Amino acid sequence: MHGNMEIVFSLAGRLHVLLRREINRIVDVEWFCSNAVYAGEVIRLARNAHSNEMDILAARIEEVHPLLPRIERQAEPASAEPEAKYVKTLR
């Protein structure tokens, strides 16, 4: 659990920098790591900024933050047919 909190802290720091740069909002990184309600609101704020990088960070934080509820993600179905690389001979 201690290792996860270090990861959450570093991801929250990156999110803090992006939020300040993109929408001029400052968040408390330590409070983000220790309070699930605050973390959820910051993640909601990041997702509403419509930034691809913040969306990726928010998803990663949701995966590793030990206080946030786990979100079940469905795996993509495997294709029935393998993709053909070559249709005809090379020469």
Question: What are the pLDDT digits (tens) for 41-83?
Answer: 999 999 999 999 999 999 999 999 999 987 665 555 555 566 6
Look at residue 47 and tell me if it is in a domain.
Answer: yes
Within-domain flag for 22: yes
pLDDT of residue 48: 96
Short-list 52, 39, 53, CA closest to 8:
39
The verdict on pTM exceeding 0.75 is no
Residue 90 is assigned to a structural domain of this protein: no
Residue 21, domain member (yes or no): yes
pLDDT above 90: residue 86: no
* pLDDT recorded at residue 90: 60
Distance CA(8)–CA(83), nearest Å, equals 38
66-71, Cβ contacts within 8 angstroms, sequence gap of 24 or more: 66/1, 66/4, 66/5, 66/8, 67/34, 67/35, 67/36, 67/39, 68/36, 68/39, 68/40, 68/43
Q: Residue 38 falls within a domain, yes or no?
A: yes
Residue span of the structural domain in which 10 resides = 2-64
Please give the share of the chain, as a percent, with pLDDT higher than 70: 75
The domain tally of the chain equals 1
